[in-house]
Amino acid sequence: MSQKHDRRTARSGDSTWLLAQLARILAGAKRLWAVLLYSSAYLSVVTVVEVGIAMAVLSLPLSPAPVVVGLITFAVYANDRIADVDDDAVDKPEQAAFVRRNRDVLYVAAAAAYGLAVAVAMLGGPAALALALLPGAFWVLYASDWLPRLGSRLRRLKDVLVVNTAVVAFAWAVSLTFLPLAFADRGVTPAAGLVFAYFFLRSFVDTELPNVADREGDREAGVRTLPVVLGLERTRLALYAVDAVTAAVLAYAVAAGHLSVLVALALGVGLVYSVAVTSLLARSADRDWLTVAPELEYLVVAAALSLAALA
């Protein structure tokens, strides 16, 4: 009896230890995800995947382009979160609290990331360097308040309806498409133009969907986004229209012979995912996952492209 009791006690002790270790691992994973989410570091990972997609579609050789764009993404969005910390306190109190606690660390990390990105971009020549500097310049125009100081009729681009999202989409579409071309020393082709159009349209949707959860803070700050001006239902319809234009771009690319059917289908899988996320907009407007879900489209596309490559 004593031996059986000892064995049961030992097994119980082992189970308790395993559960404690599992709880520690889960708690650590939760803290890590919070850091990745609130610091914008997860967006860097997604952007690396996006550049990889552009390189695969355009058949470009391996280069430092994904690393450069990933570093720039972290730097730009970390600075943006620092600049908007007061506005974000309305809709994202946990993120705002994280940014306030780690403001100095984020400043230093963002500056180091952009500096490293520029240093690496110099290896790709003048064009790569210029393209690496472009997102930072656009962020200054987009988020800073120096434009209003020039005159009463001028406003931050971030405050201007559609222009705010179009500026973000344009800056990232340029970097995602043309920086890999600069590193590869390739010219701009019709296929590259179509890839640019694809990323511009996708980035437009990816930027407006998170604005749904930010609409109260944006309204108080005077930032005019589609959810603030149009409301949820009409925003959903507007984003469906952008998705439809993306589908038309892919169809044209195949018909003109600039993209293969398999590649277009892989990109189309991501488009279907995007439509599914947009369809949940009204019911999930205040869910935290709506901020992250649009970016996961590119992981879906990357997986579809990998399968297409094996076909």
Chain segment 269-309, per-residue pLDDT in tens: 999 999 999 888 767 666 777 778 888 899 999 999 999 88
Least confident span in 91-100, 182-191, 256-265: 91-100
CATH code, 207: 1.10.600
- For residue 98, give both structure tokens: 């994280």
Number of domains in the chain: 1
Q: What is the pLDDT of residues 224-281, one digit of tens each?
A: 888 888 888 898 999 999 999 999 999 999 999 999 999 999 999 999 999 999 888 7
pLDDT value for 111 = 93
Secondary structure (DSSP) of 74-91: HHHHHHHHHHTHHHHHHH
> Is 12 within the bounds of a domain?
no
pLDDT > 70? residue 193:
yes
> Is 4 within the bounds of a domain?
no
- Side chain identity, residue 305: L
pLDDT value for 146 = 52
- Side chain identity, residue 69: V
> Is 32 within the bounds of a domain?
no
CA neighbor of 70 nearest in space, from 102, 32, 44:
44
CA neighbor of 84 nearest in space, from 203, 278, 225, 229:
225
> Is 20 within the bounds of a domain?
no
Contact (Cβ atoms closer than 8 angstroms) between residue 209 and residue 239? yes
> Is 14 within the bounds of a domain?
no
Any idea of the CA torsion for 254, 259, 260, 265, to the nearest 10 degrees? -80
The helix/strand/coil state of 63 is: coil
Contact (Cβ atoms closer than 8 angstroms) between residue 38 and residue 98? yes
Secondary structure (DSSP) of 96-115: HHHHHHTHHHHHHHHHHHHH
> Is 35 within the bounds of a domain?
no
> Is 1 within the bounds of a domain?
no
> Is 33 within the bounds of a domain?
no
* Residues spanned by the domain of 268: 40-310
Q: What is the pLDDT of residues 23-55, one digit of tens each?
A: 788 777 778 877 887 888 889 999 999 999 999
Maximal C-alpha separation, the chain: 89
